[in-house]
Amino acid sequence: MSRTPSWEEARHDDLRARQWLAGRADGGGVSRQGLLELGAAMGALTAAAREREPVAVAADPVGVDPGGIVKPLPPELLTPLDTNAEMRWAAMAGQGYVVPTDRFFVRNHTRTPAIDPDHWRLSLHGTGLRGRPGRDRPVEFGLADLRRLPAERITALVECAGNGRRFFDTQQGTPAPGVAWGLGGVGVASWTGVRLSTVLRLAGLTDAAVDVMPEGLDPAYVTGGVDLGRVRRPLPLRKALDDVLLAYAMNDEPLPPDHGFPVRLVVPGWIGIASIKWVGPVEVSASPLFSPWNTRFYRMFGPGHAADGDPLTAQSVKSAFELPWDARVPASADLLLRGRSWSGNGPIRTVEVDTGDGWCPAELVAADAGGPWQRWTARWRPPAPGAYRLRARATDVTGAGQPDRAAPNALGYLFDGVVRHPVTVA
Ligand SMILES: Nc1nc2c(c(=O)[nH]1)N[C@H]1C(S)=C(S)[C@@H](COP(=O)(O)O)O[C@H]1N2
Ligand SMILES: [Mo]
């Protein structure tokens, strides 16, 4: 599979945000004023988060129960977090390369919609398609139409840009608003579907097209008193024509409701929000597009960043042990620690583990080389009963690694610090 360099996502985001600020990009329904007001509200919120004070505006429906998720949430597999559910890393012990669907994390801005597959349509429209812009009816595909097109199966990682956000607070004392993910806002699955490029070409893509914006059919997202409309985010045409899939199956079963039934995007290598679930309308535009999800959110704000925020780069390097948080393990036993590491820049090259007496190389599972994440093992014989902090850190092919302390940013994205995993030897 080809891989679009990660800088391309950053460059595209930055360009579109600047065009939007200059009034030269279309946002499909959200006014610039509305977003600026939200920006002020978010500013108050992030300031308050730094001060640890409650404020009147809420960034996310904090405390909302995950009743909008359809699948069961057994506590040994998933932990509810507001409208979302986080995978428990202990639930990956003994599993294969992919995350079984029953424990794959769920990130819902609102709730999982019930969609009737017989009436569902993928509906493409916009000035980047052949025909008289604005006057022609959209080009539609039903589920059966998509299934008749050439199918492709890929193994791809989906990770929320806020994965690891909790550790900005618990390890570094710089809390950020938003979903307080540990390390379980990530998963790898196999995805089957049709290439977005195939559908775009059938719909009459022209040379004038520059951006493609898929939109979810879940309820509109309201935050800080502003209705931002449906979840959507533009992709540059180059990425849309590269390796993006319109997936209708996950781990060889029909896509489950929580993961985008009947059809979602899978955008390999890009942050999770790019992989729009429950996709319905797709705008194909000859002019640049923006959405709140690449201007107001999913940018780096705060000290050391531009006033309008810097674009997110690729997902950061992370490592996780397949152990319960505060695991209890027997003393004087030989343990085989297992874990996984991953990076948005590309494959992992090395992993090291520290159980308390220095960094030692972990053994990489050879079969995973070059894939979206890397399994590893490390032997440990706990010397004595007591409390331990296990650490793992990885380096990817670009040389990016994991610092002891992640650089904070106002919205708590791209945590890359080494996580201290508590273990009690009894
Ligand atoms: N329509 C829609 N698509 C969406 C979202 C959403 O709330 N609505 N959440 C996004 C985010 S932020 C992430 S991280 C991924 C999560 O995919 P998953 O729930 O299948 O794990 O879906 C993305 N696609
Ligand atoms: Mo996300």
User: Which DSSP string corresponds to 191-233?
Assistant: EEEEEHHHHHHHTTB-TT--EEEEEE-SPPPEETTEE--S-B-
**C-alpha distance from residue 85 to each of 75, 185, 307, 381 (Å):** 10, 8, 32, 33
Is 313 within a domain? no
* Rounded Cα gap, residues 305 and 311, in angstroms: 9
d(CA 133, CA 129): 8
Task: Please tell me whether residues 282 and 351 are part of one structural domain.
Answer: no
Tell me: pLDDT of 122 over 80.
yes
Q: Could you tell me if 336 and 262 lie in one domain?
A: no
> Residue with the nearest Cα to atom 24 of ligand 1?
276
What whole-number distance in Å separates Cα of residue 124 and Cα of residue 118? Answer: 18
Report pLDDT for 47: 55
DSSP 408: P
Ligand index nearest the alpha carbon of residue 157: 1
Distance 272 CA to ligand 1 centre (A): 6
Q: Say whether both 214 and 358 belong to one domain.
A: no
Domain boundary among 287, 303, 328: 287
Asked whether 334 and 379 are in contact (CB, 8 A), the reply is yes
Q: What is the CA(80)–ligand 1 centre distance, in A? A: 15
- Find out whether 398 and 297 touch, Cβ atoms under 8 Å: no
Question: Where are the strands (E) in 44-138, listed by range?
Answer: 78-81, 84-87, 122-125
- Tell whether 114 is covered by a domain: yes
Better-scored residue on pLDDT, 388 or 8: 388
List residues near ligand 1 (CB under 6 A): 104-109, 158, 160, 216, 218, 231, 259, 272-273, 275-278
Closest C-alpha to ligand 1, atom 15: 272
Torsion angle of C-alpha atoms 335, 336, 341, 346, degrees rounded to 10: 150
Structure confidence at residue 44 (pLDDT):
56
Q: Of the residues 78, 159, 246, 275, which should be mutated to test ligand 1's pocket, given the most ligand atoms within 8 Å of the CB?
A: 275
Choose one of 270, 287, 304: the last residue of a domain: 287
Residues 262 and 220 in one domain: yes
In the chain, the amino acid numbered 312 is L
Classify residue 279: in a domain, yes or no: yes
Domains: count for the chain: 2
- Across the range 156-185, mean pLDDT stands at 97
- Summarize the confidence of residues 123-151 as an average pLDDT: 88
Q: Whose CA is nearest to atom 16 of ligand 1?
A: 107
d(CA 288, CA 15): 9
Q: Are residues 281 and 339 in the same domain?
A: no
The CA-based angle 281-221-238, given to 5 degrees, is: 45
Give the residue with greater pLDDT, 38 vs 276: 276
- CA 110 to ligand 1: nearest atom: 7
Atom of ligand 1 nearest to the CA of 217: 1
CATH code: domain of residue 401: 2.60.40.650
Is 327 inside a domain boundary?
yes
- Between the CA of 204 and the centroid of ligand 2 the distance, in Å, is 31
Which amino acid, one-letter code, is at 342? W
- Quick one: CA torsion of 398, 400, 401, 405, rounded to 10 degrees? 180
Q: Are strands 310-311 and 299-300 parallel, antiparallel or unpaired?
A: antiparallel
Q: Which amino acid is at 412?
A: G
Task: Between 297 and 346, name the one with better pLDDT.
Answer: 346
Does 199 map to a domain?
A: yes
Which atom of ligand 1 approaches the CA of 108 most closely?
7
Burial (CB count within 10 angstroms: exposed 0-12, middle 13-18, buried 19+), residue 93: middle
204 and 256 share one domain: yes
Distance (angstroms) between ligand 1 centre and the Cα of 108 equals 6
Alpha-carbon distance of 105 to 73, in angstroms, equals 10
35, part of any domain: no
Atom of ligand 1 nearest to the CA of 162: 14
- pLDDT tens readout for residues 76-116: 999 999 999 999 999 999 999 999 999 999 999 999 999 99
The token pair at 103 is 């424990």
- pLDDT tens digits along 10-67: 777 777 777 776 666 666 555 666 666 666 655 555 554 444 443 333 344 444 457 8
Q: Count the neighbouring beta carbons within 10 Å of the beta carbon of residue 8.
A: 16
Cα–Cα distance, 379 to 353 (Å, whole number) = 9
- Mark whether 223 and 365 lie in a shared domain: no
The model's confidence at residue 2, banded by pLDDT at 50, 70 and 90, is very low
The atom of ligand 1 lying closest to the CA of 277 is 3
- Cβ-count burial of 395 within 10 angstroms (0-12 exposed, 13-18 middle, 19+ buried)? middle
Supply the pLDDT for residue 314. Answer: 82
Q: Quick one: 105 and 248 in the same domain? A: yes
Residues 199 and 279 in one domain: yes
Predicted pLDDT at 1 = 38
293 in a domain, yes or no? no
pLDDT at 61: 43
User: Which ligand 1 atom minimizes the distance to the CA of 265?
Assistant: 24
CATH number reported for the structural domain that contains residue 146 in this entry: 3.90.420.10
Give the mutation target among 215, 231, 255, 282 for probing the ligand 1 site: most ligand atoms within 8 A of CB.
231
Residue 167's pLDDT is 98
Domain limits for position 173? 61-287
| Same domain assignment for residues 252 and 385 | no
Q: Ligand 1 pocket: which of 60, 101, 107 to mutate (most atoms <8 Å of CB)?
A: 107
Whether residues 235 and 97 fall in one domain: yes
Percent over 90 (pLDDT), the chain = 73
Residue, of 54 and 414, whose pLDDT is higher: 414
Greatest CA separation for the chain: 75
Q: Which two tokens stand for residue 241?
A: 């024509």
313-371 residue pLDDT tens: 789 999 999 999 999 999 888 999 999 999 999 999 999 999 999 999 999 999 999 99
Are 144 and 256 found together in one domain?
A: yes
Taking the C-alpha atoms of residue 44 and residue 177, their distance in angstroms, rounded to an integer, is 11
Residue type at position 226: V
Structure tokens at 186: 């990530």
* Poorest-pLDDT segment among 104-108, 136-140, 249-253: 136-140
27 found inside a domain: no
Instruction: Annotate 299-326 with DSSP letters as a single string.
Output: EE-STTS-TT-EEP-SPPPEEEESS-TT
Residues 284-302 have a mean pLDDT of 89
Cα 108 to middle of ligand 2, angstroms: 8
Average pLDDT of the residues of the chain: 89
